[in-house]
Amino acid sequence: MATGRTHRPATRSRGIPEATVARLPLYLRALTALSERSVPTVSSEELAAAAGVNSAKLRKDFSYLGSYGTRGVGYDVEYLVYQISRELGLTQDWPVVIVGIGNLGAALANYGGFASRGFRVAALIDADPAMAGKPVAGIPVQHTDELEAIIRDNGVSIGVIATPAGAAQQVCDRLVAAGVTSILNFAPTVLTVPDGVDVRKVDLSIELQILAFHEQRKAGEEAAADGAPAQAAGTTNSAVAAKRQDSATDQGPDGDVPAVMPA
């Protein structure tokens, strides 16, 4: 059914570049921590350091939001939290379904960080009939037979896939056909979706491979410093590492929106 991956312009319709959008959650996380400590204002340098972003880049990003701060005072923390939350669409409640309630799906269901950021776990869905009705994180698991009705009844637009890779495309197709337009995919496979559907892929093993690449390079540099012949850095992983510097990317090797930007 699906014919191609999502192609999105580098700039959103309201004129905010995708790279800026990808950094907004980093600012929000840092600002939320400041807000919890009742810090009223923050300088661009302090906030940039807390978010792990270059301060000139931060000022440029905030200019897209129309937020320029006050010279000598900095940015108003509460107002910036509100502004970024509004920009990210977090001032409204987003019902989310998780499909595949095994080790990972159950861990995600139990994660309190979704609700505190405006993502309500509306339903947990699994194909195993033995799991139907069993509560996970206080929510009874529902069978996949009910997937379409669950999406419709809860007005769900975001689906999380935590099934084995072999089932992920079929689950994705059903979610999309039922009306889901954003998918967070944890299964180690590339999903094919129609235009208008956004897919974000999370793969911790890719992150580990990138760390392995850096470990290998560090070992090579240390060996070179000790006078030994330098190890050929990244002979197996360099292509992956060069492409994937982010923790949650658009799926596919051509993912262009790093979620964690280099400083």
Ligand X SMILES: NC(=O)c1ccc[n+]([C@@H]2O[C@H](COP(=O)([O-])OP(=O)(O)OC[C@H]3O[C@@H](n4cnc5c(N)ncnc54)[C@H](O)[C@@H]3O)[C@@H](O)[C@H]2O)c1
The Cα–Cα gap between 232 and 255 comes to 26
Q: What Å distances lie between residue 232 and 211, 215, 224, 229, CA to CA?
A: 16, 12, 11, 9
Q: Does 246 engage in binding with ligand X (CB under 6 A)?
A: no
Report 134-163 residues binding ligand X (CB under 6 A): 144, 162-163
**Which lies closer to ligand X via its Cβ, residue 44 or residue 185?**
185
The Cα–Cα gap between 151 and 161 comes to 14
102 belongs to an annotated ligand binding site: yes
179 belongs to an annotated ligand binding site: no
CB 95 within 8 A of CB 156: yes
| Contact with ligand X (CB under 6 A) among 90, 151, 156, 171 | 171
Q: Tell me the per-residue interface mask from 200 to 219 with ligand X, x by CB under 6 A, - otherwise.
A: --xxx---------------
Half-sphere exposure of 70 (CA within 13 A, CB side): 8
104 belongs to an annotated ligand binding site: yes
Report 81-110 residues binding ligand X (CB under 6 A): 99-105
66 belongs to an annotated ligand binding site: no
H/E segment holding residue 163? none
CB of 86 to ligand X, least distance (A): 29
**Which lies closer to ligand X via its Cβ, residue 47 or residue 180?**
180
* Secondary structure of 40-72 as H, E, C letters: CEECHHHHHHHHCCCHHHHHHHHHHCCCCCECC
| Contact with ligand X (CB under 6 A) among 30, 187, 193, 257 | 187
Span near ligand X by CB under 6 A; candidates 4-12, 40-48, 182-190, 220-228: 182-190
Q: Where are the alpha helices (DSSP H) in the chain?
A: 18-36, 44-51, 55-64, 77-87, 103-110, 113-116, 147-154, 165-178, 204-225, 238-243
Span near ligand X by CB under 6 A; candidates 65-73, 148-156, 164-172, 229-237: 164-172
**Which lies closer to ligand X via its Cβ, residue 59 or residue 143?**
143
Chain positions contacting ligand X, by CB under 6 A: 99-105, 125-128, 144, 162-165, 167, 170-171, 186-188, 202-204
